[in-house]
Amino acid sequence: MQQESAAPQVGEPFPLSTLRHSVSHLMASAVEKLYPGVRFGFGPSIEHGFYYDFELPEPLEEKDLAKIEKEMRRIAQKSPELVCEEVTRDEAKARLAKLGQTFKVEAVDLIPEGEKITFWRHGDWFDLCEGPHVDRLNRAFAFKLLSIAGSYWRGDEKRPMLQRIYGTAFWKQEELDAHLKWLEEIKLRDHRKLGTDLDLFSTHQEAGGGFVFWHPHLGAVRHALEEFLAEEHQRRGYDFVFTPHVVREQVFQVSGHLQNYAEMMYAPMLIDEMPYRVKPMNCPGHVMIYKTRAHSYRDLPLRFSELGTVYRYERSGVLHGMMRVRGFTQDDAHIFCTPDQLEAEIADVLDLIDTVLKTFGYSYTAYLATRPEKAIGSEEIWAKATEALKKGAAKRGLPLELDEGGGAFYGPKIDFKIRDSLGREWQMSTVQCDFNLPERFDIVFTDTDGHQKRPIMLHRAILGSMERFIGGLIEHFGGKFPVWCAPKQVALIPIREEHADYVRELAKTLQHELFRVTCMDDPGHMNNKIKEAQKLQIPFMLIAGDREVAERAVAVRRRGTREQEVMSFADFRALLVRLRDTRSLELA
């Protein structure tokens, strides 16, 4: 993936972000030329390019982009020099007001007192901007306008909606081409596209948006993941619990969700004239289990885990495939422990996270989020918990980036961002200390001194939610799942119909060993079956003809290659078992 660097790379006159910002100015001037009277919003460089926001009387269309690009090239040749001019605050506002640039006038007020106010100009177009910029717009570079979207002025939905044009720029055409190819690859791997192509999941207009239907293929993936998670949890001393999806509203009164989270929760339903709510989180349920008996320090830590399905209201416009839905299952757990146990528990959770994420080939970065302005709990407990998070990480040699003041109001946390095979970052795992719920539900344990004390509650999720994680996984692997979690692991293909019995026998053997196989034994051409298996990204094809039947062998064709390897069925089976049981990412 493209790297954005603060400093220019070797052979490049300016940093990429400077170039992109300058190209956004170039674009703005072209838009002004084509649409006189346009009002300008902001136009910064961003991670992979730039954008500029405009207020136009007419909506832009995709096809207008070519026109704007053409005008940009014309301007770059005609008036290439970019020059900076310092102005006073009053002068800036007066000149912008005279042009009717109301958003820009407002932008002047956003500049802190005492800072320089500058205009950057090329030709007769100028913009309020702190720079820096490239010196000339006719330097060698490559750019492309990519898309149009709406966006609120200053990101505030109560303010006017502007039209945003996204684009990108690079110093070299090859780099732009590579970037466009990357965007293309992202589109090809889109989990929604692969979701239909590989028959993974669906959503339904008649069922409502934001609800995912898992088809057999994706059900197999999820089942494999759940099994993996269960093993790793059991190994680490977690207990499995199950809690109801619907409980009396008063539970969320006590937990505080009704006060702080109501707009995410669905309306109450009446059962025996009593209001009930669908759960938006699993924590209250786990606390209720904790509360059913008195706990001694000897019982702790208690680790309750649940694949808990929750329902949350999301605004219709944010729903997105499996990634953003209204009902989803969290791989949730709550650890109840004494303050002294916190550090060891955190280290253990970090180990679990590491194990799980590495199994999928994800690399990750961890962020320590500390006390925000508005927080509950004493300074001491915050300091102690933050220290425990730090020490737990240190114990595992895990470097922490600092997210100052990014903690939840109820406690500090460590968040994980994973990097997928396309170089994109996603927020995933999280470990959060909670001083709030133990308080609200008044849970206690009896300490060594015989006194009742407050346990600390640790919330943690490894995958986050099955929906979002697996949606991401589809794109990470591009549909090419490793053997252990592939929807179908083996496709069996007879060369002629007379080999079908042999193939059926092998299929039965593998299925008895809990492999997911598809036996393509119906009459039809071998080549079509190979095409089909290839399309479904099945890791292994076993093809059998006269030679294989005679020797109890199989011709093995691995996903992604056209080569075949003939081996005994026993050897293949051993290979398959090893790949599955080690959860290998390889096919050899």
Indicate which residues carry an active-site annotation: 283, 312, 330, 332, 334, 413, 459
E-assigned strand segments in 397-475 = 400-403, 413-419, 425-434, 445-446, 452-453, 456-465
Nearest to RNA of 127, 521 (CB atom): 521
Please report which helix (H) or strand (E) contains residue 531, including its range.
helix 526-535
User: What residues between 209 and 268 interact with RNA by CB under 7 A?
Assistant: 209-210
Residues in the chain: 588
Task: Evaluate whether 246 touches 274 at the Cβ level (below 8 Å).
Answer: no
User: What residues between 114 and 133 interact with RNA by CB under 7 A?
Assistant: none
Number of residues that bind RNA (CB under 7 A): 72
User: What residues between 283 and 312 interact with RNA by CB under 7 A?
Assistant: 312
Residue range at the interface with RNA (CB under 7 A); choices 91-99, 123-131, 357-365, 538-546: 538-546
Please report which helix (H) or strand (E) contains residue 54, including its range.
strand 49-55
Nearest-angstrom CA–CA distance, 433 and 456? 7
Q: How far is the CB of 565 from RNA (least distance, A)?
A: 9
Binding mask 406-445 for RNA (x = CB under 7 A): ---------------------xx-x---------------
Nearest to RNA of 386, 465 (CB atom): 465
The 3-state DSSP class for residue 72 equals helix
Using CA atoms, how far residue 566 sits from 508, 525, 543, in Å, is 20, 21, 9
Residue 525 interacts with RNA (CB under 7 A): yes or no: yes
Degrees, nearest 5: CA angle 233-237-238: 55
Task: Evaluate whether 146 touches 167 at the Cβ level (below 8 Å).
Answer: yes
Nearest-angstrom CA–CA distance, 384 and 391? 10
In the set 461, 492, 567, 576, which binds RNA (CB under 7 A)? 461
Residue range at the interface with RNA (CB under 7 A); choices 73-81, 233-241, 375-383, 527-535: 527-535
Nearest to RNA of 187, 451 (CB atom): 187
Residue 320 interacts with RNA (CB under 7 A): yes or no: yes
Nearest-angstrom CA–CA distance, 116 and 103? 19
Residue range at the interface with RNA (CB under 7 A); choices 236-244, 323-331, 380-388, 445-453: 323-331
Nearest-angstrom CA–CA distance, 255 and 232? 29
Q: How far is the CB of 97 from RNA (least distance, A)?
A: 25
Residue 501 interacts with RNA (CB under 7 A): yes or no: no
| CB proximity list for 436: less than 8 A, separation 6 or greater | 256, 376, 377, 409, 410, 411
Q: How far is the CB of 34 from RNA (least distance, A)?
A: 17
Q: How far is the CB of 375 from RNA (least distance, A)?
A: 16
Nearest to RNA of 192, 580 (CB atom): 192
Nearest-angstrom CA–CA distance, 294 and 299? 10
State the first-to-last Cα distance of the chain, in angstroms, to the nearest integer: 28
Binding mask 184-203 for RNA (x = CB under 7 A): ------x-x---x------x
Nearest-angstrom CA–CA distance, 288 and 424? 39
Residue 512 interacts with RNA (CB under 7 A): yes or no: no
The DSSP symbol for 262 reads G
In the set 11, 59, 397, 450, which binds RNA (CB under 7 A)? 59
Residue range at the interface with RNA (CB under 7 A); choices 243-251, 342-350, 435-443, 521-529: 521-529
In the set 43, 49, 464, 487, which binds RNA (CB under 7 A)? 464
User: What residues between 200 and 219 interact with RNA by CB under 7 A?
Assistant: 203, 205, 208-210
Nearest to RNA of 93, 279 (CB atom): 279
Nearest-angstrom CA–CA distance, 202 and 586? 29
User: What residues between 558 and 577 interact with RNA by CB under 7 A?
Assistant: 562, 564, 566
User: What residues between 133 and 152 interact with RNA by CB under 7 A?
Assistant: 147-152
Nearest to RNA of 22, 429 (CB atom): 429
Nearest-angstrom CA–CA distance, 156 and 42? 13
Degrees, nearest 5: CA angle 399-405-409: 115
Residue 319 interacts with RNA (CB under 7 A): yes or no: yes
Residue 61 interacts with RNA (CB under 7 A): yes or no: yes
Residue 511 interacts with RNA (CB under 7 A): yes or no: no
Residue type, 515: F
